Chain A
Amino acid sequence: MSDTSCTSALLFGLASALVSCARQPSTQTSTWFDHDPAPAIAGLRVNDGRPFRLSDQKGSAVLLSFGYTSCLELCPDTFATVHRVLNALDAQAARVRFVYVTVDPERDRPEPFAKFMASVDPRFQGIFLDQQRLLPVLSAYHVTVRKRVPDPESYARRDVDPTGYYTLDHSSGFWLIDPAGRLRARFLHEAPDAEIVSGVRTVLQEPN
């Protein structure tokens, strides 16, 4: 190989390395991270009842979200956002996985959770972890979950114990994992679709 070719190859390799290591600028609704491996998630994919491991999703970009099926306000918005983002990505959507981890293993048992996910979109992967396995995942991703239990004294209907009808505050938005399995970004709930689409395209187009 000539000196010029060596130099060109070296420069190309350097440029590629710089592109893949470049951190995207954070905004008010997104934060980009260093290229650390995404914390492991291992549980049950309720869609088909098979084991799920986040590391098995390598080769695809993953949009990860946390919620629960009784979340009737925020989580429908999350699903709608994913639909719009996938539509905007067009052919690239084939390389994107949406992973939705329930933060309510007490009520979102695998079978009803599977029916729920099928009713939303069969492409969306619903992941069940029991409480023991869920807690370290919530910690690793810095996910807040707070239980709000109705005060039985506040309600006139006393023949029902309302403590089973709790709601859960939870962290919203998405975590973006790249095809190499690295945690790359956090998008808040308010992040514009274009920001999420751009972020996904960025990680899909990087050399791995």
Chain B
Amino acid sequence: MRTAMLLSIALCLAPAGCAKAQASSTAPIRVEGATAMLLASGTGVFYGRIFNASDSPDRLRSAAVPQAAFAQLHETVNDAEVSSMRAAPTGFPVAAHATLKLAHGGKHLMFFGVKNPDKVSALHVLLSFDRAGVVAIDAPITHGIAQ
């Protein structure tokens, strides 16, 4: 009887234990403040704050914009004289319990070749993380240069 009771308790606890194990192996990613700027040429940029709520570091490896022909993670670098937008082909790290900011003047996602840009009201972005997998975001769009 006691053995059966102990076994029952173990069985009841096991699913919760398994769920916890799964939770610790999944890196929950939250994206806040997602926004995009889109020009009439079909070129644009996506910004947002990416929070890694897990106990493990992750990496934003790449990003895609299905509405665009091409998308590329970049980082803006300004030396005293020359401004560069440099590709980040291996993406950006996101430390555990930390925020990766994709923001103006720094890291960002640039995309090209959106067709009929004036008809696009939201940008669909797929962020690919090493641990968290693909996170989909819909970002509101500002048409034209935001000043």
Name A residues whose Cβ lies closer than 8 Å to a Cβ of B.
69-77, 79-80, 83, 107, 112, 115-116, 119-120, 144, 146, 148, 150-151, 154-157, 160, 162, 164-165, 167, 169-173, 188-190
By secondary structure, the B interface counts as strand
CB contact between B83 and one of A119, A162, A169 (< 8 Å): that residue: A169
CB contact between B82 and one of A69, A155, A171 (< 8 Å): that residue: A171
Q: How many angstroms between the C-alpha atoms of A149 and B113 in the bound complex?
A: 15
CB contact between B144 and one of A107, A119, A167, A171 (< 8 Å): that residue: A119
Q: A144-B82, A150-B72, A170-B82 are in contact. List 19 more A-B contacts (CB 8 A).
A: A70-B41, A71-B85, A72-B45, A73-B83, A75-B145, A76-B146, A112-B40, A112-B41, A155-B72, A160-B69, A162-B70, A162-B72, A167-B85, A171-B83, A172-B78, A172-B83, A173-B81, A188-B80, A190-B80
CB contact between A79 and one of B40, B72, B74, B145 (< 8 Å): that residue: B145
Query: What residues on A are CB-neighbors of B37 within 8 Å?
Result: 72
Q: How large is the interface on B (under 10, 10 to 19, 20 to 34, 35 or more residues)?
A: 20 to 34
6 pairs, A vs B, C-beta closer than 8 Å: A74-B83, A79-B147, A107-B41, A112-B40, A116-B41, A170-B82
Please tell me if the beta carbons of B81 and A171 are within 8 angstroms of each other in the complex.
Answer: yes
Smallest CB separation, A76 vs chain B (Å):
5
A-B pairs under 8 A by CB, number: 107
Is B27 an interface residue, CB under 8 A from the partner? Answer: no
Q: How many angstroms between the C-alpha atoms of A154 and B38 in the bound complex?
A: 24
Is B51 an interface residue, CB under 8 A from the partner? Answer: no
Is B86 an interface residue, CB under 8 A from the partner? Answer: yes
Give chain B interface residues in 99-147, CB to chain A under 8 Å. Answer: 104-105, 108, 110, 112-113, 144-147
CB contact between B78 and one of A69, A72, A75, A189 (< 8 Å): that residue: A189
Q: A72-B110, A171-B81 are in contact. Are A154 and B39 (CB under 8 A)?
A: no
CB contact between B43 and one of A72, A80, A189 (< 8 Å): that residue: A72
Query: What residues on A are CB-neighbors of B39 within 8 Å?
Result: 69-70, 72, 116
Is B44 an interface residue, CB under 8 A from the partner? Answer: yes
Please tell me if the beta carbons of B84 and A146 are within 8 angstroms of each other in the complex.
Answer: yes
